[in-house]
Structure 1
Amino acid sequence: MAARDREWPGGRWVMAAFLAALAAAPLVLPEFHVTLLNYIGLSALVALGLVLLTGVGGLTSFGQAAFVGLGAYTSAVLTTTYGQSPWLALGVGLVLTLAVAVVLGSVTLRLSGHYLPLGTMAWGISLYFLFGNLEFLGGHSGISSVPPVTLLDFALTDSRHYYYLVWAFVLIALFTTRNLLDSREGRAIRALKGGMVMAEAMGVDTSRARMVIFVLAALQACAAGWLYAHLQRFVNPTPFGLNTGIEYLFMAVVGGAGQVWGALVGAGVITILKQWLQDVLPRLLGSAGNFEIIVFGAMMVLVLHHARDGLWPLLARLVPLRSQPRRIDPTAEPLPRKPRPPHGEVILEARRVTRSFGGLVANKNMDLSVRAGEILALIGPNGAGKSTMFNQLSGVDDPTSGEILFRGRSIAGLGPHRVAAMGISRTFQHVRLLPRMSVLENVAIGAHLRGHKGVLPAAWRLDRAEEARLLREAAVQLERVGLHGLMDEEAGSLALGQQRILEIARALCADPCLLLLDEPAAGLRLKEKQALAELLNRLRAEGMAVLLVEHDMDFVMGLVDRVVVMEFGEKIAEGLPEEVQRNPAVLEAYLGGV
């Protein structure tokens, strides 16, 4: 969901037509089709949570059906055994699901790679068997005589009436999810796909962001379970097993895992396709069976092979709507800036820093300091330990011994998002951007720590004033680095040199007093290097401290105030550029010999 995709000329008419068709459906369609639409809505609610969790956040879960079951069983027990209102049962179910999701998420989300989906499968299966083996839940026979939902003393016993309740939940979920993704919190969530190191370096607490989307997906699944229980008026464990969890994941992926509307498309396509195959295949094959599963599986493979981004992007191309550039509010109040340290003050100091990986010593007794208003270069041959040192200075890695002080405070062990909050921002040797997001939104990620609105204000559009300020700041930084004219382009469409400049703009958006640049001139043409040098000179004049790792010696020696040279993890020289260039040890180790 790039910035340029937010508003479409004519998009309101398309939305109005969709809502009108949705409202008219139960008035003109047969009972069977209305019931089918109800089940599409329930599935879309779960799939929407998976779009947020899997498609946007990159966390694969096979266990969402268990959360559906948790919502259904909570309401069934409270309304049948204890005679409580279904609406009270919904509230209790959401609170219970929140607690369970936090407990499961605190364990599961620590896993990575293939262990994460396996973990979700494990607790999904566990909850499924728990539903079937507890006597007060009715065992495998389930709970019957679940009462209907009532609105103003009107019982929603007719599927046509219940339809409006189901789709009200779906539309609210679509609205709030779309709003959330178009916000500061949403950018933090989308930043997860760019890698934990990048997101943390921009000040995003990735553990919190992962927990937020895990809980939100669980709550949406719980709401779907509540609706299911009072639609069916009967609950048993069968619909909440692993197979159904896989089906929900298919819906999200087939519809378009990174698209909010993809959840609706995927739920509709798979639900209708399953029903159609169950009707048609027995007639063709002359016998009953699960042949539809075989055909269904084959069709899913074809869809995933030929439409990896799902069906929604293909459908969106058929609608003659053009994207509209993001509007920046020039009247938005500028964000406050941190006071700059006095010129010449030592703001970063590394003392006898050693980093060992088993028997390999990457850094040994490294000392360096950076002062406000100066540019310091860290140079050395490949394998000298520059990247390891860089990661320790930015909080990505911790030293084995020694200490690193930022403005007199030790930063070892704080983690990169806390280090970023103190006023250190960085770029990366290999560019780390979100290629499908706009240039503007990529830069706005850097301002994450300068905003405070949370998930609920974002979901209900109560953060618009702050959002306008953050986007204005991002636009200011893009103008500062000369990329203002490209702010509505996708970041992945930029040339490598422009992407490196974009990373610098993103780092500046955090309002740091120390800028760590990892090979910023790599891939830049001569004029781009000259423009970068001019930018860094302006930052130095403003009192910014800059530490850069770079291999382009012509660029370095004509720009920096001091140079630190490393070889085999140790400092072999330090001084002014002209002194370092005459140092015999440096000439031998790095600059090609005498």
Structure 2
Amino acid sequence: MNANTQTRAAPGAPSRLSPKLVLGVFLVLLAAAPLVLPEFYVTLLNYVGLSALVALGLVLLTGVGGLTSFGQAAFVGLGGYTTAWLTTAQDLPGWLAFIGSSPWFTLVAGLVITATVAVILGSVTLKLSGHFLPLGTMAWGISLYFLFGNMEFLGGHGGLSGIPPVSLFGYELVNNGQFYYLVWCFVLAALFTTRNLLDSREGRAIRALKGGMVMAESMGVDTSRARMVIFVIAALHACAAGWLYAHLQRFVNPTPFGLHIGIEYLFMAVVGGAGQVWGALVGAGVITVLKQWLQDILPKVFGSAGNFEVIIFGVMMVIVLQRARDGLWPLIAGLVPVREAQKTIDPAATPLVKKPQPPMGETILEAKDVTRKFGGLVANNNMSLSVKAGEILALIGPNGAGKSTMFNQLSGVDTPTSGDVLFRGKSVAGHSSREIAGLGMSRTFQHVRLLPKMTVLENVAIGAHRRGSKGVLPAAWRLDRDEEARLLREAAVQVERVGLKDFMFAEAGSLALGQQRILEIARALCSDPCLLLLDEPAAGLRLKEKQALAELLRRLKSEGMAVLIVEHDMDFVMSLVDRVVVMEFGEKIAEGLPAEIQSNPAVLEAYLGGV
């Protein structure tokens, strides 16, 4: 076995095609298109390719990362205007004149300028959430559009003409058929690198954004960086499309870079399949071709010219959102019997380095007089507790006692109003959950937080994020395969460790709730922690599953791991833990051995019903 993606057909299943064969047929058809199609359709395919580049960035940004942008057309304009101005302006300084001497130099310049602008805009826009984020992208999209039209050196609303053709090995690409291959080389390179990126440590971090910031940060993912990465990549895709557009048209003006075109690009991503890489191609093809046909047909139907196609697109968007929320690509892919790709694990991959566990009995975690107030509500009041290496401590109490709030103070999800939290002797109050995760603390959640469309193996591998180091570029060009094999091997070990081996390649969303809770424990273990915080891990488990979980926790305890557990199942808790802390109304009312707690009058009255 190896760590690459392989394909397998289930025994007795109908014969299915190899993905490589299907891809090969697609590439042959793509290469032959200019040789057999009329000039009009070759031109149309060029525009499909340009739109697909922008839509692909939106698939990464919106479909995968969950960040909606209406302003991508402005980045297309940055790429187009950069090369148009540099290649046509007179009396430029020497160094700018040198850059403008070749369209390939202006491509690099455009990418640098676009990346810089994207970082500046992203540093402001990506701090917004909810409906404010798309509104923010609309704001700067409109601003850049009017900037293009109002700058005299950019030709105003009349634009810039006389843009030179692109030369390749001394050969000028002066017609649509010649330019076609350049456009589609860009598209295929973008598809290839995007698929590679998503199939990597960095890609899992990006996909984890949809599972929520709290979960991702708790697994060690720098969510701010991940959001900025996909924002910049989407902008660079759009910039490359703008560069190609300028040299294809040999003319630019602001019209193709307005907000309405940005909305059209978003339509393409959603119609094709916002979470599907190949959906960008489908969406761009459907919208571009349909737009052209409708512009030809509808004026004949209505007897006058107008933007009637916009009405059709609006209706189509509503239908897609109602009937095919995953877009058209899954429907199209279902028509072709292609064998499903499945990852395999390389047992020979070098195991990841494990940190030594602290000595048995060493105090791992200590909370000192932790208080958390939300306005006039006191959720935690002077809470103190400690957990030692090789110990299981239970934190129990009625619903609303403040247990999950306390977990958030300990793990860095929230910051105490007063008091302190020491982890391995270091104060971590006010530190981010990502920083604390890096010190060796990992957690699960009261409400399961998984990526339902990702496999069990991939979900667990998110936990090992901080144990890898390869960045975006190595991932995009598959230079991270050795590290990826090691991360997947570690994830597989943890999946087997918690008893989910038979579900390793199943989608996490297909598991029962109890199994999903166990999966969260595997993900937490994948980070190589010395302290586990488990929030109601036995909820939804059957008796045998609880017994298996208890055995796993005892094994972790014997290895020197500290475990802090919140749980309502008293039979499970009292037969497992070493000590118990009881909370009520945000305060500690008792602490001691399980037998002592079970006979404590205050606990019996407050939590166990006075029995």
Query: C-alpha distance in 1, partners of 2:222/2:467?
Result: 14
Residue in 2 that maps onto 1:76 = 84
Alignment of 1:81-100 (within 5 A): 81=89, 82=97, 83-100=100-117
Q: 1:398 aligns with which of 408, 415, 432?
A: 415
Task: State the Cα distance separating 1:76 from its structure 2 match.
Answer: 0.4
Matched, 1:540 2:548: no
Task: State the Cα distance separating 1:5 from its structure 2 match.
Answer: 8.4
Match for 2:354: what amino acid? R
Report Cα offsets for 1:77-132 as digits up to 9, x if no partner: 11111442111100010000111000000000000000000000000000000000
Matched, 1:55 2:63: yes
Q: 1:158 aligns with which of 175, 178, 197?
A: 175
- The verdict on how the C-alpha distance between 1:448 and 1:23 changes in structure 2, with shifts beyond 3 A counting, is same
Matched, 1:322 2:339: yes
SS at match of 1:325: strand
Residue in 1 that maps onto 2:13 = none
Alignment of 1:177-256 (within 5 A): 177-256=194-273
Gapped runs of 5+ residues in structure 1?
Answer: none
Matched, 1:11 2:19: yes
Match for 1:546: what amino acid? V
Match for 2:303: what amino acid? G
Q: 2:543 aligns with which of 505, 526, 551?
A: 526
Residue in 1 that maps onto 2:31 = 23
Query: C-alpha distance in 2, partners of 1:329/1:337?
Result: 19
Tell me, yes or no, if the aligned pair for 1:41 and 1:166 is still in contact at 8 Å. yes
Task: State the Cα distance separating 1:485 from its structure 2 match.
Answer: 1.2
SS at match of 2:214: helix
SS at match of 1:391: helix
Matched, 1:458 2:475: yes
SS at match of 2:430: coil
Tell me, yes or no, if the aligned pair for 1:4 and 1:488 is still in contact at 8 Å. no
Query: C-alpha distance in 1, partners of 2:342/2:115?
Result: 38
Task: State the Cα distance separating 1:299 from its structure 2 match.
Answer: 2.2
Match for 1:18: what amino acid? F
Q: 2:122 aligns with which of 93, 105, 109?
A: 105
Matched, 1:46 2:46: no
Query: C-alpha distance in 1, partners of 2:272/2:225?
Result: 27
Residue in 1 that maps onto 2:461 = 444
SS at match of 2:465: helix
Alignment of 1:343-354 (within 5 A): 343-354=360-371
Matched, 1:512 2:520: no
Tell me, yes or no, if the aligned pair for 1:426 and 1:516 is still in contact at 8 Å. yes
The count of aligned residue pairs is 592
Larger deviation, residues 294-303 vs 328-337: 294-303
Report Cα offsets for 1:121-159 as digits up to 9, x if no partner: 000000000000000000000000010110111111111
Matched, 1:592 2:609: yes
Query: C-alpha distance in 2, partners of 1:296/1:433?
Result: 34
Query: C-alpha distance in 2, partners of 1:376/1:364?
Result: 19
SS at match of 2:399: coil
Q: 1:412 aligns with which of 429, 435, 442?
A: 429
Match for 1:286: what amino acid? G
Query: C-alpha distance in 2, partners of 1:162/1:552?
Result: 67
Q: 2:380 aligns with which of 347, 350, 363?
A: 363
Residue in 1 that maps onto 2:94 = none
Query: C-alpha distance in 1, partners of 2:374/2:307?
Result: 54
Query: C-alpha distance in 2, partners of 1:485/1:408?
Result: 40
Q: 2:185 aligns with which of 168, 172, 176?
A: 168
SS at match of 2:452: coil
- The verdict on how the C-alpha distance between 1:400 and 1:449 changes in structure 2, with shifts beyond 3 A counting, is same
Query: C-alpha distance in 2, partners of 1:132/1:491?
Result: 49
Report Cα offsets for 1:260-296 as digits up to 9, x if no partner: 0000000000000000101111222222222222223
Query: C-alpha distance in 2, partners of 1:505/1:553?
Result: 23
Tell me, yes or no, if the aligned pair for 1:375 and 1:547 is still in contact at 8 Å. yes
Residue in 1 that maps onto 2:294 = 277
Match for 1:233: what amino acid? R
TM-score by length of structure 2 reads 0.96
SS at match of 2:342: coil
Query: C-alpha distance in 2, partners of 1:499/1:186?
Result: 22
Q: 2:43 aligns with which of 20, 27, 35?
A: 35
Find runs of 4+ consecutive structure 1 residues off by over 4 angstroms.
3-9
Residue in 1 that maps onto 2:161 = 144
Tell me, yes or no, if the aligned pair for 1:373 and 1:545 is still in contact at 8 Å. yes
Tell me, yes or no, if the aligned pair for 2:19 and 2:339 is still in contact at 8 Å. no
Task: State the Cα distance separating 1:303 from its structure 2 match.
Answer: 2.2
Task: State the Cα distance separating 1:325 from its structure 2 match.
Answer: 3.2
Query: C-alpha distance in 1, partners of 2:485/2:188?
Result: 25
Query: C-alpha distance in 1, partners of 2:438/2:490?
Result: 17
Residue in 2 that maps onto 1:379 = 396
Task: State the Cα distance separating 1:7 from its structure 2 match.
Answer: 4.5
Tell me, yes or no, if the aligned pair for 1:5 and 1:323 is still in contact at 8 Å. no
Match for 2:48: what amino acid? I
SS at match of 2:229: helix
Query: C-alpha distance in 2, partners of 1:210/1:442?
Result: 19
- Identical columns (%): 79
Task: State the Cα distance separating 1:508 from its structure 2 match.
Answer: 0.3
Query: C-alpha distance in 2, partners of 1:112/1:296?
Result: 27
Query: C-alpha distance in 1, partners of 2:404/2:206?
Result: 27
Query: C-alpha distance in 1, partners of 2:133/2:225?
Result: 16
Match for 2:35: what amino acid? L
Tell me, yes or no, if the aligned pair for 2:6 and 2:344 is still in contact at 8 Å. no
TM-score by length of structure 1 reads 0.98
Report Cα offsets for 1:155-210 as digits up to 9, x if no partner: 11111000000000000000000000000000000000000011011100100000
